[in-house]
């Protein structure tokens, strides 16, 4: 079966969420992804916390198989502080199409795999760096995480209740969307440009840039009007009754998104509040409407309201799910956003499905995630190294 990125080789030097997600997407699309990891000694595996600290090989294998971020990849372990390992990485990149790294600016120079070095040997290489603040500017060397990039990029200041503290979202906005997904977009654009120019280029992804980029619409309103948007006060961040969440009888929440006048009218009729139909955008009436809606929604459970309002027709409504509920939803199941992708020691492995649906070149999960360094010997042999040379590259006591 033909896949969109058949024949594209990706070398993945990333560690945290944005980079592995970027290369997961490319792997789902058919790219050959080789993940370069730091070797871990057995003592480290026993001492570290989390999945990295699982000492039992069976548990390590299970954790690796269930890790969707590493699916469709092979893993090699190289100690890039050693000259032999640096040379092996350079050889790996000689025929690569894409190189992705997620270190702080300056680190790859010390590891001998910066853009200038790799592109000199392979001018067609598309080299992508993912960082918090980018490769230049006054913040380039600052450390940070999703919450910091959301703060400086402007999104966190828009999320939360009016006159309350910011509401901290899970790390999907800056890390996965502003970082990982925009890296995919940048890389794809560079690969297309390569067909015209005949050479690759450097792709500089800053998660803070990505957050601000995704505020294009709200920023446009600010540039036009000069009005600073506030959390919990705008139509789309909690300030309006027609676009909000409501607590139901069972303590669960329902989301309402009736922006269009027709949807608003249908909602009001379904709730028996026809008198509010003409007042959708009259903010002085909002306290009254909020109070009435909140009392009404508390009379039935979330799922009872979900069924009632769906049957009413053309009411933008949805249940606010916990994650265990998401993958039981019939629409999510129909769209195959939960898939059995293989087995590990006889146990079925279930992962999130693939988002983009392409009619002729469908993306798919071809293999589950490898254990760290599982393919070191295999990949080095493919690069032409002898067994003695491999032994010299892979130091005794390290994962192979």
pLDDT along the chain (400 residues), means of 10: 95 96 98 94 42 69 96 97 95 98 96 97 98 97 97 97 94 97 98 98 98 97 96 95 98 98 98 98 97 98 98 97 97 96 95 96 96 96 95 67
Buried b (16+ CB within 10 A) or exposed e, 148-183: bbbbbbbbbebbbeeeeebeeeebebbbbbbbbbbb
The dihedral through the CA atoms of 12, 18, 24, 30 has a sign that is negative
Give per-residue pLDDT as tens, 124-147. 999 999 999 999 999 999 999 999
Could you list the active site residues? Answer: 145, 175
Closest alpha carbon to 174 in 200, 209, 220: 209
Q: Which residue has the tokens 């901290």?
A: 168
- Give the max Cα distance, the chain: 83
Backbone torsions φ then ψ of 261, nearest 5 degrees = -55, -40
Q: Which residue has the tokens 């990505």?
A: 210
Report in angstroms the alpha-carbon separations of 296 from 185, 238, 378, 379. 44, 18, 63, 63
pLDDT given at position 40: 76
Q: Are 174 and 210 in contact (CB under 8 A)?
A: yes
Backbone torsions φ then ψ of 399, nearest 5 degrees = -65, 140
pLDDT given at position 397: 45
CB atoms within 10 A of CB 140: 15
Q: Are 259 and 241 in contact (CB under 8 A)?
A: no
Q: Are 147 and 207 in contact (CB under 8 A)?
A: no
Three-state secondary structure of 74-86? EEEECCCCCHHHH
Give per-residue pLDDT as tens, 283-331. 999 999 999 999 999 999 999 999 999 999 999 999 999 999 999 999 9
Q: Are 138 and 211 in contact (CB under 8 A)?
A: no
Q: Are 204 and 236 in contact (CB under 8 A)?
A: no
Report in angstroms the alpha-carbon separations of 150 from 102, 208, 223. 18, 7, 20
Please state at what angle helix 182-197 crosses helix 18-28, rounded to 10 degrees: 60
Indicate the DSSP class of residue 177: I
pLDDT given at position 32: 98
Buried b (16+ CB within 10 A) or exposed e, 106-137: ebbeebbbbbebbbeebeebbbbbbbbbbeee
Please state at what angle helix 302-312 crosses helix 261-271, rounded to 10 degrees: 120
Instruction: Give residues with Cβ within 8 angstroms of 87, minimum separation 6.
Output: none
Domains, the chain, ordered by start: 9-213+334-393 (3.40.50.10540), 243-247+253-319 (3.30.1540)
pLDDT given at position 395: 72
d(CA 130, CA 26): 15
Length of the chain: 400
d(CA 289, CA 346): 55
Indicate the DSSP class of residue 331: H
Q: What is this structure's pTM?
A: 0.92
Q: Are 61 and 90 in contact (CB under 8 A)?
A: no
d(CA 168, CA 156): 7
Cα–chain center distance at 8:
21
Q: Are 297 and 272 in contact (CB under 8 A)?
A: no
């Amino acid at each position: 079966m033909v896949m969109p990125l058949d024949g594209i080789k990706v070398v993945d030097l990333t560690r945290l969420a944005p980079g592995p997600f970027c290369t997961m997407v490319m792997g789902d699309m058919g790219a050959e992804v080789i993940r370069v990891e730091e070797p871990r000694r057995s003592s480290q595996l026993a001492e570290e916390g989390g999945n990295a600290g699982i000492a039992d090989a069976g548990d390590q294998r299970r954790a690796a198989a269930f890790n969707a971020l590493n699916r469709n990849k092979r893993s090699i372990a190289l100690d890039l502080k050693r000259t032999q390992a640096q040379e092996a990485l350079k050889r790996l990149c000689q025929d690569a199409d894409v190189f992705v790294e997620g270190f702080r600016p300056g680190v790859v120079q010390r590891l001998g795999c910066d853009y200038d070095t790799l592109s000199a040997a392979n001018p067609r290489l598309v080299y992508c760096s993912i960082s918090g603040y980018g490769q230049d500017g006054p913040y380039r060397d600052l450390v940070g995480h999703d919450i910091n990039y959301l703060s400086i990029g402007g999104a966190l200041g828009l999320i939360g209740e009016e006159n309350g503290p910011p509401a901290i979202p899970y790390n999907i906005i800056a890390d996965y969307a502003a970082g990982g997904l925009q890296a995919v977009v940048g890389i794809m654009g560079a690969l297309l440009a390569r067909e015209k120019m005949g050479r690759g280029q450097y792709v500089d992804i800053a998660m803070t840039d990505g957050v601000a980029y995704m505020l294009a619409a709200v920023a446009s309103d600010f540039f036009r009007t000069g009005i600073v948007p506030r959390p919990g006060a705008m139509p789309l961040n909690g300030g309006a009754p027609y676009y909000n969440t409501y607590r139901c009888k069972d303590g669960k929440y329902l989301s309402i998104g009736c922006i269009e006048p027709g949807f608003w009218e249908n909602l009001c009729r379904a709730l028996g509040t026809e008198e509010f139909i003409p007042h959708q955008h009259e903010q002085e009436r909002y306290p009254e409407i909020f109070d009435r809606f909140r009392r009404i929604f508390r009379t039935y459970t979330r799922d009872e309201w979900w069924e009632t309002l769906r049957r009413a027709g053309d009411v933008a409504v949805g249940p606010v799910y916990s994650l265990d509920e998401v993958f039981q939803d019939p629409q999510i199941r129909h769209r195959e956003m939960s898939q059995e992708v293989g087995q590990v020691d006889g146990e079925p492995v279930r992962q999130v499905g693939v988002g983009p649906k392409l009619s002729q070149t469908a993306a798919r999960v071809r293999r589950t995630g490898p254990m760290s360094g599982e393919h070191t010997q295999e990949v080095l042999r493919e690069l032409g190294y002898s067994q003695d040379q491999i032994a010299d590259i892979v130091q005794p006591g390290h994962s192979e």
